[in-house]
Structures are given as structure tokens and as C-alpha cells.
Chains A and B, each alone.
Chain A
Amino acid sequence: MSSSQAPGGERKYLLSPEFLRKLEQAGIASREIMLGRTKGERRSARRGSSVEFADFRAYVPGDDLRYLDWNAFARLRRVFLKLFVEEEDLHIYLLLDTSRSMGFGSPTKLEWAKRSAAALAYIALCGGDRVQVFAHSQADAKQSRMVRGRGAAPELFEWLGDLSPDGGTGLPGAVRWMQTMLPAPGITFVISDLLAPDWEAALARLAASKGEVCVLQVFSREEVAPTARGDLRLVDAETAQDREITMGASVLRKYEEERDGFLAAVQQACGRYSFSRLFAVSDEAVEDVILKSLRRLQVIR
């Protein structure tokens, strides 16, 4: 899909104007009470991209003990919390899986992922949060600039639009790669189909770092309900492994069992790690997902 950039800020190709308007009303919700912030309030942030110790704050019960300044406690025998510059800004990270498996479906899963990512990014930008998008596959890994403000939306949208599926999945590697570049913890949205044997390792790695995670798992319609029949040789788009199969009633049953088990396992893992998780099919409207489902999950205000 080619981008059509109209001067004046109208971005049609990924998201419709009505949708954009609705998105302006929304905001990314954070389950954790970020230090120093109260609901609905945003401090004007000091710009900077490095993690910088800025100030102390007296400890009140309920604060995150991770940010205790032990040196100050040792010297002053008083409990203080470190304050960092960036934590006043909410960092929204979007990790898109651009492996070849995302190129399936109609519309493709990647298409859906792009639109969902665009919507989430727009919400964040409209809310004054910082957004950075990462696109990863074993063939190519790129990230966008960390941007802020609604004016950055076109640049982000164009960047998203240029993504195309290629290469293997490698989710753990993607997470590791992304985490090395994160300036500060934030909320990470992972948009992928998770169709790789090492999906659980990727989630575990995500859980190991700070911040919230929301997993948007997207399947194509064909993966939900395969329609192919007959004697087939299934070829893995990414690994080129092939399996011979004769599509029949019992074979389909087995696939459905496997699929349901997999989705349930993902759900369970996300629950264990306290991730929010959403399952969608690529032919479902992005609006419904973003506005309704994510709201229900309290990922979005």
C-alpha cells in the first residue's frame, strides 16, 4: 500500500479521519502509578534522552522499593526515592514482528499490526507521550526515532507504511535487541502472531525488564480456520520446513486442538507475567480492537 500524504496532517492510508478523531480522545492507561504522576496530570517533561538522576523524594509507603536510593539511606539514615528525568514522560514502545509469517492473511497480519501500531502511537502522541517503534525480523531490524507530539504522527505513519514482511521470526532476539535500546522503561506493545517455538522465551525476557507489556496476538483467518483440503505439502514460509499432510476431518480436528492449546498457553503465560493480552484476527476491524477491546482490558483510557 502506498502512502498518500496530503499536506495539512490528514493521514488516510492507515487510519481513517473518524478513527483518528476518536483516537485523540483516548489515552494510554498505565496500570502502575508512575512515580510522581497522578491521573490525568502530565508534567511537562525535561527533555533528554539519558537516564539522569535528578532529585530525591521522601519515601511514602506504597512506592516502588526498586527506586530506593541506598547510598542516601546509608549516609543519611533516611529513605529516599530516586527520581529520574524520563519517568515523568510515558514511553510507549511498539514492537512489530515483521517476519514473513506476518505477511499472510487478507488483510495481512502485518497490515493489521501496522494499523494497530499507528493507532496506539497516535493515542500516545496526542497524549504527549513519547513513542518509539521497533520493527524486527531476522532479516531486518529497524527502529524509528523517539518522537513526541502529534506533529510527529505523519513521520511515524510513513515509517510504518514502509514496513514489509521478510525473514524469520526470532522473537527472543527481537526483545533483546529492543531492550538494549530502551532509554527508559515504559509500556511495550508487542504485536505479533507469536508463531514460533520460542515464543515463551520472548515473553519471559519481556517480563524480566521493567515496564508494562501488552501483547497483541494477531492471527490470519486461515490460521484460525484452515480451508485448504486434500493432499498437501505444507511449507513453512520462514524456515522452509515442510510437512506432508492430507487435510481431512481428523487432521483438522488435531490442528484445532493444537491451536486452542497454543492460544491458551499464551494466555496463561501472559497472565503469569501480568501482561495484558489481546487476541485478534487480521480481518477484524482495527477500530473495534483498539477502542473497545483494549479499553475493556484497561490498556486504554
Chain B
Amino acid sequence: MTAVQLLAPLAAIAFVPLAAIIILLYLLKLRRRDLVVPSVFLWRRAVQDMQANTPFQKLRRNLLMLLQLIALACVIAGLAAPFFLAARPAGESVVIVLDASASMNATDAAGSRFEEAKRRAEEIAAGMGRHDEGALVVCGGRASVALPFSQDRRRLAAAIAAAPATDCLTNVGEGVLLALSLAGKRPDARVYVLSDGAFPPLPETSSPADIQFVRVGTRNDNLAVLAFEAARPVGSEDHQILLRVNNYAPEEKRTVVSIYRDEDLLDAEEMVFGAGETRTETFRLSLGEPGLLRVELEADDDLASDDVAYAYAGDPSAVSVLLVTPGNLFLEQALLVLPEIEVFKATSLAAAEAEAAFRDHDVVILDRSPVPALPDSGGVMMIGGASEGAELAAPVITRWEENHPALRYVNLGAVQIARARALAPSAGETVLAYAGNSPVTVAREAAGLRTISFGWDFLDSDLPLRVGFPVLLRNVVHWLAESEGRSAPMRVRPGTVVRLAVPPDTRSGDVTMPNGRRRSLSVIDGQATFADTHWVGVYRFEAGERTWQWTVDLRSGEESNLSPRQEVRLGDRKVAAGTGPPEVEQHLWPALVLLALGVLFAEWHLYHRRY
């Protein structure tokens, strides 16, 4: 509600002369009419009596004049047409869609854009009529209905106040669809999208609901890390760090770029980025040990969560692989191609040699060789050595874990396999690939030991001929080799669901979040699922003696681009940014006219009371 304004303020000027006329009339009235009488002889007593009442007479006269002035003031005020703007959502059903993405944490509004959006939402909620209903949809990691339709404005305000900010990517589109489905067929439904507009065009919708875009955010003063990678090139001892930074601000920005490994500062450099400049820098660092690298930009910009990124610098020393095979040219060649692998060959592995072999090598590949007793630690890859299990003829891999580090980037479904054996996963083994209902690839991750078994002989399939074969081998080898605590943490975007394969004896563990809070997580079927990766930082899961780590950072040009959009698009429809529900003029003149009439009536009554 805004302050009272006047539509016709000039009318107020008329008050002065009119009031002066009224006062003048009353002053003039004090000059009595002269009446010549034969004698005032008989009027003596009446006059004496009247003189005793003179103060009351004066008061009564002044009261009448005052009432007339008040009535005049009311009429003049009415003519000046005062009004105030009151935000009326003008809808019986209101759905508020609150964008809680990373860009909403920008500080170019009081508090943050998200705080501003919450304030606007509260304004909308406050302007609702008594019989209007409101709902709240919050678009954080996922779009969810924080409050279904309710006429209780207090609940709506509480839900708005409780909505948490996140660093997730924008999914307002999902939120709008959710809101539209909530509104359904209600008449006079209105959806308010409170966001900075940093989302792609929304899909076309045929819902009758009216969509209003309330924009928050004013400027784009941001410096962001778009890419941060660490890799050890072929034959090099040092790591190469790639850093891409974009300056979205309209002026140049000076910043100090610092690279840390865990808490140790490795390198710091001051850089100046011009307005709108995107620059890619490369560093060379020699890292003694592997570790989690973190880059930080010390910049005074509006969004802090995109000033941090993580990358894992892996072990520069070569992985020692022992290949035990009767003969597999494809396997040998493919392994030799991989740069960081040192390959040793053997045709067979006796039980007595097994222990030494496992100790001396990081990974042991058993190709069609019998499996000795598995060691306590190390990595073992078994190909086609299964002697039990159902025989599968021409199996087709229908399901496989694409996100598993060992199977990434490989399309197992296209592999033609002549025959295979179904594997029976034992305790602690998870199935990585199914052919129909039969497991054909299983893996185990125990304390210090990682194993992966393939139920078919590679030479029984066209897998070695595929482009992805070296990729598969590399991934498998590296996954197996990283078993001894040299775990490269997963690097995910905010909002991603993280699935961890945990040893079967683990029932639950604790997750430590970037803000230090701990949460317990239960393990189901050897898998721990964590969905609340809403904030940028390092997450840690501890179960038993093992620790898993994963990092969340933005590296998103879309979120880092803070410039508030002027409009949003729904299919072909464009909704221009507004500042909130339309403010309707609430006129006051009817009330003033009624007041004037009331005062006039009182004055008339008072005047006639004496006669």
C-alpha cells in the first residue's frame, strides 16, 4: 500500500477562498440587524439574560462555523480525488513460483535477490483478499509445491519465509508447469513467477491461468569460474591446470586467483579481466601428491558461489597393471596405448605367486584365467573366467550403470556378444550390467579392494573392435587402481543426485555438508543415495572406516550470467517483467462525501435545536 496521493491536487487550492468566505460570513453575521423598537424598556430583562449566556452563544456560533468548515474540507478533499495504490492480486487463486536457483543468491538486491523475491511474495500474499487462496511453488534443486492452495494467509507467509535458497541450476520451467497444473481449471487463476528470468524459454501452455513475471535483480556484476580442470599430460611430471573465467560486469574487474590443494595454497596470481571478457588460463603445477584442487576468485561481485571450483589432480605415478592372459592381442594393445599404465604380462598366475602379484601391482587383469584367492586390497579385473552360471546365448546388454566410473562413456548395449555366463553376485557385489534379467557384469568395492567381473570372454564379442574399448579399459583400470583411498571425488553440479556404492556390511553413515552440518544417511542394498546437493562445496560421507567425497560447483554460464531478463517466453507468448500485482487505485472520495454529509447534518441539527 502506498501513501495517499491526489488525482486533482489543484482542487485543494479552492479550500482557502471558500473557507475564507465561510469565516467571513460568520464574522459578518456578528453584525446584527438593526431593529428600531418603540422602547427597549420591556427588553431589559431579556437582554440581561442574554448577556449572561453570551459565552455559550459565542461557542455555539463557533461550533457551527467549525462544522461548516469541516464539511467544506471534506468536500474539497473529495474533489481532490485522493487515492492510494493497493496491490490487489486480482485473482481468486494465486500461485507464487519462487526461483531459488544459484543466480538468485546475487546480492544486487537488499539481502539477496532471493530475499527480495520473498519480500515481493509476501506483498502478494498480503494483498490477497479474504476469500482468495494462494499456493507456493519453490524451484530449488527440484520444483516442489511448498504449500498447496490455502486461504490461510499466515501459512502462506510462513511457507514463503521458510523457503530455502540453493545454488542449484534454474528449473523454473518445471515450477511453472507445476503451478499451472495446480491452478488447473480454476477461474481467475494467476501465477506469479518471482525470478531474475535466467532460464530458457518455457514451453507453450494452454492453461487459462494468467502468468505474471515479477522480476528481481538489477544488474550483472559478476565474475565466474566457467571451467577448472586438472590433468597430467602424456609423459609429463607436472599437472596442467585449465581455468576459464568470465567477467560479466560492464567494467573491468581485478581479482586474485588462488589455487589450493585441500588447505594448502599452491599458487596465487592477480588478474585483471576486462568488461565482458572471457579468458582461459593455463597453469603448470608440480604436485607431489594427488589431492583435491580448489580455485577461488577473490572478487567483489554479486554472486559468490560461482567464484569457487574444484578439480582432482590424480596420482602422477603410473599404474602398474599385470595382465594374466593366455593371449589376447586386443587387450594387450589396448593397454599399451594407455599412457599412464605400465603393463606386465603373464600367461598364468599360480596361487603361490598371486599374493606377490597383488602386492606388486595396482591392478591385476585375469583374462580367462582362474581366479586365485582375492587379496585384501588392490584391484582385480576378471574377464570371462566364470565357470558357473547359466549360459546365455547371444545376450544383449539391456541395462548397465552408465554413471559408474568404470563404465562411463561406453555403450555396452551395442556390443554383440556370442555367448556369456550369468554371474551370481555374492555379498558385497553390485551388478553393473544386465542382459535381460541376468547379471553379466558385477563389481565389488570393499575396504581397499575393488573387483570387476565380466561374464563373457571379450574375444567372444565385438567389444575389442569398438571405439569405446580403450575407454572402457582405461576407466576400469583407473577405477580399480584408485581403490586404496586414492579416490577421486565425484564432481557434480548442484542438484544432482549422488549414488554411492558402499560395502554391504554398512547400514548407515553420516554426510557432512559444506556448511558443516551433518546428516545421517541410510544405506539400502549397498547403495547410499544423497539428493540434497544444493550448495556449492565439498561433501563427505563417512560410513565405517571409509570416506567418500564429492564436490559441487557451478561452472554454469547460465547461472553466472546475472543480467535480469526483461521478459520470459512461454512458447510463443512473451510475458514482460512486471514489478508485482497491478496496483489498483482505491479512491477515497465516496467516504469523504459521506463524511461531509454527516457533518452537514450535525450542523443543521445543532442550528435548529435552539429554535
Partner of B39, one of A195, A228, A245: A195
Per the bound structure, the CA–CA distance linking A249 and B611 in Å amounts to: 6
Q: 1/0 per residue B18-57: CB within 8 Å of A?
A: 0000000000011011111111111111110110000001
Instruction: Please determine whether B45 and A254 come into contact, CB atoms closer than 8 angstroms.
Output: yes
Instruction: Please determine whether A255 and B39 come into contact, CB atoms closer than 8 angstroms.
Output: no
Partner of A242, one of B29, B30, B39, B40: B40
B610 interfacial contact with A, CB 8 Å: yes
Partner of A246, one of B36, B41, B50: B50
With a 10 A CB-CB cut-off, give which of B32, B34, B35, B39 has the most chain A CB atoms: B39
Instruction: Please determine whether B47 and A245 come into contact, CB atoms closer than 8 angstroms.
Output: yes
Instruction: Please determine whether B36 and A237 come into contact, CB atoms closer than 8 angstroms.
Output: yes
**Given A244-B32, A245-B43, A258-B42, 7 other A-B contacts at CB below 8 A?**
A223-B42, A233-B35, A235-B36, A239-B40, A249-B611, A254-B46, A259-B42
- Could you show 9 A-B contacts with beta carbons less than 8 Å apart? A195-B39, A197-B41, A229-B611, A232-B32, A233-B35, A238-B39, A258-B44, A262-B41, A262-B42
Q: 1/0 per residue A261-292: CB within 8 Å of B?
A: 01000000000000000000000000000000
Q: Cβ of B41: which chain A residues have Cβ within 8 Å of it?
A: 195-197, 236, 262
A41 interfacial contact with B, CB 8 Å: no
A182 interfacial contact with B, CB 8 Å: no
Which 6 residue pairs spanning A and B have beta carbons closest together? A101-B38, A254-B46, A195-B39, A233-B32, A243-B47, A231-B32
A59 interfacial contact with B, CB 8 Å: no
A111 interfacial contact with B, CB 8 Å: no
Instruction: Please determine whether A193 and B38 come into contact, CB atoms closer than 8 angstroms.
Output: yes
A257 interfacial contact with B, CB 8 Å: yes
B55 to chain A, nearest CB (A): 13
A147 to chain B, nearest CB (A): 31
Per the bound structure, the CA–CA distance linking A237 and B40 in Å amounts to: 9
A64 to chain B, nearest CB (A): 37
Q: Mostly helix, strand, loop or mixed at chain A's interface?
A: mixed
Within 8 A of B (CB), among A215-243: 220, 223, 228-239, 241-243
A17 interfacial contact with B, CB 8 Å: no
Per the bound structure, the CA–CA distance linking A205 and B46 in Å amounts to: 30
Q: Cβ of B47: which chain A residues have Cβ within 8 Å of it?
A: 234, 243-245
Q: Cβ of A183: which chain B residues have Cβ within 8 Å of it?
A: none
In chain B, what residue has the closest Cβ to A169? B39
Q: Cβ of A235: which chain B residues have Cβ within 8 Å of it?
A: 34-37, 40
Supposing A238-B39, A245-B46 touch, asked if A233 and B33 sit within 8 A by C-beta, the answer is yes
Q: Cβ of B50: which chain A residues have Cβ within 8 Å of it?
A: 244-246, 251
Per the bound structure, the CA–CA distance linking A223 and B30 in Å amounts to: 25
B32 to chain A, nearest CB (A): 4
A242 to chain B, nearest CB (A): 7
Supposing A243-B47, A245-B47 touch, asked if A237 and B34 sit within 8 A by C-beta, the answer is no
Instruction: Please determine whether B611 and A195 come into contact, CB atoms closer than 8 angstroms.
Output: no
Within 8 A of A (CB), among B200-220: none
In chain B, what residue has the closest Cβ to A259? B42
Q: Cβ of B610: which chain A residues have Cβ within 8 Å of it?
A: 248-249
A70 interfacial contact with B, CB 8 Å: no
Q: 1/0 per residue A191-213: CB within 8 Å of B?
A: 00101110000000000000000
With a 10 A CB-CB cut-off, give which of B34, B42, B44 has the most chain A CB atoms: B42
A84 interfacial contact with B, CB 8 Å: no
Per the bound structure, the CA–CA distance linking A86 and B47 in Å amounts to: 51
Q: Cβ of A254: which chain B residues have Cβ within 8 Å of it?
A: 45-46, 49
Per the bound structure, the CA–CA distance linking A245 and B39 in Å amounts to: 14
In chain B, what residue has the closest Cβ to A249? B611
In chain B, what residue has the closest Cβ to A263? B42
Supposing A246-B57, A248-B610, A249-B610 touch, asked if A234 and B40 sit within 8 A by C-beta, the answer is yes
Instruction: Please determine whether A231 and B29 come into contact, CB atoms closer than 8 angstroms.
Output: yes
With a 10 A CB-CB cut-off, give which of A220, A234, A257 has the most chain B CB atoms: A234
A254 to chain B, nearest CB (A): 4
Q: Cβ of A220: which chain B residues have Cβ within 8 Å of it?
A: 38
Instruction: Please determine whether B38 and A237 come into contact, CB atoms closer than 8 angstroms.
Output: yes
Per the bound structure, the CA–CA distance linking A103 and B39 in Å amounts to: 11
With a 10 A CB-CB cut-off, give which of B29, B33, B38, B50 has the most chain A CB atoms: B38
Supposing A245-B50, A250-B49, A251-B49 touch, asked if A258 and B43 sit within 8 A by C-beta, the answer is yes
Partner of B38, one of A223, A228, A241, A249: A223
Q: 1/0 per residue B584-611: CB within 8 Å of A?
A: 0000000000000000000000000011
B148 to chain A, nearest CB (A): 72
A13 interfacial contact with B, CB 8 Å: no
A159 interfacial contact with B, CB 8 Å: no
Q: Cβ of A104: which chain B residues have Cβ within 8 Å of it?
A: 37-38
Instruction: Please determine whether B46 and A251 come into contact, CB atoms closer than 8 angstroms.
Output: yes
With a 10 A CB-CB cut-off, give which of B33, B34, B36 has the most chain A CB atoms: B36
Per the bound structure, the CA–CA distance linking A249 and B46 in Å amounts to: 11
Per the bound structure, the CA–CA distance linking A249 and B45 in Å amounts to: 14
Instruction: Please determine whether A232 and B42 come into contact, CB atoms closer than 8 angstroms.
Output: no
Supposing A242-B40, A248-B611 touch, asked if A232 and B34 sit within 8 A by C-beta, the answer is yes
With a 10 A CB-CB cut-off, give which of A101, A109, A243 has the most chain B CB atoms: A243
B267 to chain A, nearest CB (A): 100
Per the bound structure, the CA–CA distance linking A232 and B34 in Å amounts to: 6
Instruction: Please determine whether B43 and A234 come into contact, CB atoms closer than 8 angstroms.
Output: yes
Per the bound structure, the CA–CA distance linking A261 and B17 in Å amounts to: 51
B61 to chain A, nearest CB (A): 9
Instruction: Please determine whether A234 and B49 come into contact, CB atoms closer than 8 angstroms.
Output: no
In chain B, what residue has the closest Cβ to A253? B46
Q: Cβ of B42: which chain A residues have Cβ within 8 Å of it?
A: 195, 223, 255, 258-259, 262
Q: Cβ of B38: which chain A residues have Cβ within 8 Å of it?
A: 100-104, 109, 193, 195, 220, 223, 236-238
Per the bound structure, the CA–CA distance linking A243 and B45 in Å amounts to: 11
With a 10 A CB-CB cut-off, give which of B36, B46, B50 has the most chain A CB atoms: B46
Instruction: Please determine whether B39 and A196 come into contact, CB atoms closer than 8 angstroms.
Output: yes
In chain A, what residue has the closest Cβ to B37? A234
Supposing A101-B39, A236-B40 touch, asked if A231 and B46 sit within 8 A by C-beta, the answer is no
Instruction: Please determine whether B611 and A237 come into contact, CB atoms closer than 8 angstroms.
Output: no
Per the bound structure, the CA–CA distance linking A220 and B37 in Å amounts to: 11
Per the bound structure, the CA–CA distance linking A289 and B52 in Å amounts to: 41
Q: Cβ of A244: which chain B residues have Cβ within 8 Å of it?
A: 32, 47, 50
Q: Cβ of A245: which chain B residues have Cβ within 8 Å of it?
A: 32, 43, 46-47, 50
In chain A, what residue has the closest Cβ to B33? A232
In chain A, what residue has the closest Cβ to B29? A231
Q: Cβ of A252: which chain B residues have Cβ within 8 Å of it?
A: 46
Per the bound structure, the CA–CA distance linking A101 and B42 in Å amounts to: 13
Instruction: Please determine whether A255 and B46 come into contact, CB atoms closer than 8 angstroms.
Output: yes
A263 to chain B, nearest CB (A): 10
Q: Cβ of A249: which chain B residues have Cβ within 8 Å of it?
A: 610-611
Q: Cβ of A259: which chain B residues have Cβ within 8 Å of it?
A: 42
Instruction: Please determine whether A234 and B35 come into contact, CB atoms closer than 8 angstroms.
Output: yes
Supposing A101-B38, A195-B38, A236-B37 touch, asked if A258 and B32 sit within 8 A by C-beta, the answer is no
In chain B, what residue has the closest Cβ to A109? B38
Per the bound structure, the CA–CA distance linking A236 and B37 in Å amounts to: 5
In chain A, what residue has the closest Cβ to B47? A243
In chain B, what residue has the closest Cβ to A257? B45
In chain A, what residue has the closest Cβ to B41? A195
A256 to chain B, nearest CB (A): 9
A196 to chain B, nearest CB (A): 7
Supposing A234-B40, A246-B50, A249-B610 touch, asked if A258 and B35 sit within 8 A by C-beta, the answer is no
Per the bound structure, the CA–CA distance linking A170 and B38 in Å amounts to: 14
Q: Cβ of B45: which chain A residues have Cβ within 8 Å of it?
A: 254-255, 257-258
Instruction: Please determine whether B40 and A243 come into contact, CB atoms closer than 8 angstroms.
Output: yes
Q: Cβ of A233: which chain B residues have Cβ within 8 Å of it?
A: 32-35
